[in-house]
Structure 1
Amino acid sequence: MRDLFRHQVYRLLAAAVFGAGLAGCSSEVDVYVPVPVPEFENQIRLEVAWSSSVGSGVGRFYSALHPAFDGERVYAASRNGDVYAFDKKDGGRLWHLDLDDEDENDDRRSARISGGITVREDFDTSLVLLASENGWVYAVDGAKGELIWKHFTGEEILTAPAVDGDRVFVLSSHGQLFALNASDGSRIWATGDDSAQFAVRGDCAPVPVQGAVVFYGTSDGKLNIVNQERGVLLNQIKVGVPHGSTRLSRLNDVNASPVVISDELYVIALNGQFQGLSLHNPSRPMWVRQYSSVATPAYDLSDIAITDQSGHVYAVIRTDGSERWSNTRLTYRNVTGPAYAGSYVVVGDYEGYLYWLDSATGDFRAKLQLNSSGIYTAPVADDDTVYVVTRNGNLYAVREKQDSESQD
């Protein structure tokens, strides 16, 4: 119970200020009451194309284990170390690997997989990357389900690894960034040390760009820019702006992963600002707007979608940062980060509902409850199919119906 309590407190202390629930081991106290499920008539028909079990899921822990895919397979994992590959067409299970069987996890409660999944698709296979709170990084052959290498960082890892060419980048919960060789997992360099004692237990993954630099957020509200070759800090950009009279209200972590689109960079802080930057001159923002979030934004050709700490969903125009629309009908429903799927923005909530919002207006177009265990990580969109994992470990492939059947 102590481990569960630690997860909940670190993750939810900051969220309580902005409207999430603060939970203990044996009871839960609602800081703000979620609004009821919005009532509206579905305007598009949705179906679960297939679903499969992914072990025990993440339960009540805050392990950000989103699914990932390549051209043929969908990958998903459980906190306890079960890793699966499924056929994208019909959900048939292709292989299963149990990382809890590795020797380093014998004296642990479990493998405690918390960071992942990341996929590097190669010509002959895919490299599937995961990381754990026990400090291990794992690389798995995507075609065979065999462990290729593992590396012990000595640091707790909560976020998904990132890969760029022949290097894998991993950010620890203490703000140390590691560069590993993608072929054998050997360490190339390590840099940074986030010494903040009071911070959100967050999910900001590093973002490498064009073999040149790595972007990652810090607990003191900054965006670090590090040279990929040597791990040298090149620049820091202030994003979070602390305010308030208490340490809790002054939290300003950059927990959402930066988003890079061509030569544009977008970054948002918990208690600060949403900035649009140019990679050519990131020290001078193209625009700055007042939004707060710990969820990684999503984007399409023209807009950036964000979910704030109150469960409100926004679309911001990329060119000037002006607000295209807002949807505030999911207040305090612990809404996930967004995903663009065709002409829709898709989000989930704590009761296991998926919502399709019109990407042009923000209006609801459909909702579908998968199961009541809840959805914690953002949906993942692959063309017309959305993949989502629920807390109890069910993986769903959801898409718009193409026939004339009516929606239940």
Structure 2
Amino acid sequence: MGTGCALAMLAACGQRDVILPGERLDIRDGMATQQVETANIAAPISLGAQVANADWTHRGGSATHNMPHLALSETPTLAFAASIGQGDSRRNRITADPIVVDGVVYTVDAALNLAATATNGAALWSVSLMPAGERTELSGAALAYGGGMIFATTAFGELIALSPANGGVIWRQDLGASGASAPTYQGGVVYVVGQDNRAWAIDAEDGTIRYTKNSNPVAAQYGYGPGVAVTSEYAIFPFSSGQLVGAFKNGGMTRWTDSVGGERLGYALNALDGITAGPVVDGSTVYYGNSTGMIVALNLSDGTRRWSAQEGAVNTVYPVGGSVFAVNDINELVRIDARTGDVVWAVQMPDLIERRMGKSRAAVAHYGPVVAGGHVIVASSDGALRLFDPVSGALARQIELPSGAASAPVVAGGVLYVVNKDGQLLAFR
């Protein structure tokens, strides 16, 4: 380039900007990943009669991860706070949702201690899930119940069967993969997926392996994942590769596969493609999603897509009353039409917590939702239990949740239970 040209360009840089006339368009217009402003609609909904469930046996409530409109007071209040052991620390976190069986609540603290607490708050027993002789500090566990046993997966790559009476170990199975998913029990078999993208069907009686399934390995993934959904005929395996596999539960032969995609522009979560909202089976439909901008509805029998919504989901979705409720990847509580996948309303929830002097901020984690007592309920790490109107999404009630949530809320026997970051089991009646 000649000197004259260079000087001309420099001179041009010093000139006043020319504002061109015409309509301004967003450069993302027309892109599949574009965030669209939702026109909230107060649409009628019939949640059905409240169901008085006695137990909550799995993450998501049942082996299909599907629960109805549950019985709970419209104005629940804190009944008790009972210690379950160690709370969150800089190195360890609580990851297990509570399960409730026969009037006992089972929880796992940040140090992998399994505790049994009566529904009046009394401590019954506590045992360590740490392998014998192990000193490495790892956290991460999940629980399920079935066939008269408690099943626990841990960050040490074990699936453990324990007695609900005293926590005694019945058998241990080394899966060889850390951060296994929440276990699922159905018909004498326990199903689990490891973060090495292998899945197992394990005999509940003695811990022997019936069959395994594999998916493609990935480099970036979550430390633990959602559980397998199991019906009378199918087992739906969610892999951290983003692949969902529908298989015949007897023998494990693959019936269909699907893979979730989508991305939310400008968010670091795009680097993690794994399934975060594990499969939920509601009648003939399977719902699942990821944290990068997609929720999908599939036909259970053949895996064909019914719809896909440009909304990520960080937790298990909750289908009820012809709608699907979810906390999306940008901290909105959303209601989606279960027939079409269209968003009915989206409500922004707190995103960041201001720290002292405004020098730093921490992200708010939201757990749930669960639909109970006529409300859509979310437990949050900022110290609030929020109850929303399912018709409009309006905040109906906010209840103090001491120390902030560390688990999803679960409902059984007309009581809502949630574990807080200090390692306490909170009960709201």
User: Does 1:174 find its partner at 2:205?
Assistant: no
2:393 alignment counterpart: 362
Closer/same/farther in 2, CA of residues 141 and 294 from structure 1, 3 Å limit: same
Q: How many residues matched?
A: 346
Partner of 2:279: 258
Residue 116 of structure 1 corresponds to 142
- Check if 1:376 corresponds to 2:402: no
CA pair 247-298 structure 1, distance change in 2 beyond 3 A: closer
Contact 1:244 1:250 survives alignment (8 Å):
no
Match for 2:118 among 87, 110, 115?
A: 87
2:64 equivalent in structure 1: none
Distance 2:375 2:407 in 1: 18
Q: Secondary structure at the match of 1:249?
A: helix
Q: Does 2:326 match 1:306?
A: yes
The residue type equivalent to 2:86 in the other structure is S
Measure how far apart 1:280 and its partner are.
2.8
- Mapped partners of 2:128, 2:224: distance in 1: 25
Match of 1:406 in 2: none
> Equivalent residue for 2:369?
338
1:8-55 CA-partner distances (Å, limit 9, x unpaired): xxxxxxxxxx9xxxxxxxxxxxxxxxxxxxxxxxx9643211221111
Paired residue for 1:207? 229
Aligned to 1:397: 427
* Residue identity matched to 1:96: S
1:139 to 156, 161, 181: 161
Q: Within 5 A, what are the aligned runs for 1:138-157?
A: 138-157=160-179
CA–CA separation in structure 1 for the residues paired with 2:76 and 2:265: 44
The correspondence for 2:133, drawn from 87, 94, 106, is 106
Partners of 1:63 and 1:158 within 8 A in 2? no
Q: Is the 8 A contact 1:202 1:255 kept in 2?
A: no
Amino acid corresponding to residue 79 of structure 2 in structure 1 = A
User: Aligned residues: percent identity?
Assistant: 22
Pairing of 1:167-246 with structure 2 (within 5 A): 167-210=189-232, 212-241=233-262
Based on CA coordinates, which of the two structures has the bigger radius of gyration?
Answer: 2
Please tell me the residue identity of whatever aligns with 1:91.
G
Q: Is 1:74 the counterpart of 2:105 in the alignment?
A: yes
Runs (4+) off by over 6 Å? 243-248
User: Structure 1 304/282 Cα, relative in aligned 2: closer, same or farther at 3 Å?
Assistant: same
> 1:73, 1:138 → 2: CA distance?
19
CA distance in 2 between counterparts of 1:50 and 1:185 reads: 37
Q: Distance in 1 between matches of 2:320 and 2:264?
A: 32
Amino acid at match of 1:169: Y
In 1, the alpha carbon distance for the partners of 2:302 and 2:268 equals: 33
* Code of the aligned partner of 1:185: G
Q: In the TM superposition, what is the alpha-carbon distance from 1:355 to its structure 2 partner?
A: 0.9
Q: Distance in 2 between matches of 1:54 and 1:109?
A: 21
Cα deviation 1:193-237 (Å, max 9, x = unaligned): 441112343422111221x32212233432112332333333211
The correspondence for 2:314, drawn from 280, 286, 294, is 294
Q: Aligned partners of 1:56, 1:190: CA distance in 2, in Å?
A: 34
CA 1:272–1:235: 2 relative to 1, 3 Å: farther
State the TM-score, normalized to the length of structure 1. 0.78
Alpha-carbon shift at residue 265 of structure 1 (Å): 1.0
Write the distance in 2 (CA, Å) between the matches of 1:246 and 1:297. 21
Deviations 1:122-158 (Å, cap 9, x if unpaired)? Answer: 5xxx321111111111111223432221111111134
Say if 2:157 and 2:180, in contact at 8 Å, map to a contact too: no
1 CA distance for matches of 2:215 and 2:303? 22
1:245 to 1:354, Cα distance in 2 relative to 1, 3 A: closer
Structure 1 residue 331, shift from structure 2 partner: 3.2
Question: Corresponding residue for 1:13?
Answer: none
Could you say which residue in structure 2 is the equivalent of 1:386? 416
TM-score by length of 2: 0.74
Tell me how far apart the structure 2 counterparts of residues 138 and 200 of structure 1 sit (CA, whole Å): 21
**Runs of 5+ consecutive residues of structure 2 not aligned to the other structure:** 1-34, 36-72, 353-363
Please tell me the root mean square deviation across aligned C-alpha atoms, in Å: 2.5
Aligned 8 A contact 1:341 1:384 in 2: no
Distance 1:291 1:192, change over 3 A: same
Instruction: Evaluate the alpha carbon distance shift between residue 218 and residue 242 of structure 1 in structure 2; reply closer, same or farther with a 3 A threshold.
Output: farther
**Corresponding position of 2:19:** none
Distance in 2 separating the partners of 1:300 and 1:145: 35
Larger RCO (CA under 8 A, 6+ residues apart): 2
> Distance in 2 between the 1:65 and 1:251 partners?
21
Whole-Å separation in 2 of the counterparts to 1:307 and 1:243: 15
Structure 1 residue 353, shift from structure 2 partner: 1.6
Q: Write out per-residue CA displacement over residues 219-259 of structure 1, whole angstroms, 9 at most, x where no aligned residue.
A: 34321123323333332112213586999635432121111
1:174 maps to a residue whose letter is: D
- Ranges in structure 1 where 5+ consecutive residues have no aligned partner: 1-17, 19-42, 400-408
User: What residue in structure 2 maps to residue 161 of structure 1?
Assistant: 183
The aligned amino acid for 2:424 is N
> Cα distance 1:96–1:247, how it changes in 2: closer, same or farther (>3 A)?
closer
Instruction: State the shift of 1:182 in Å.
Output: 0.5
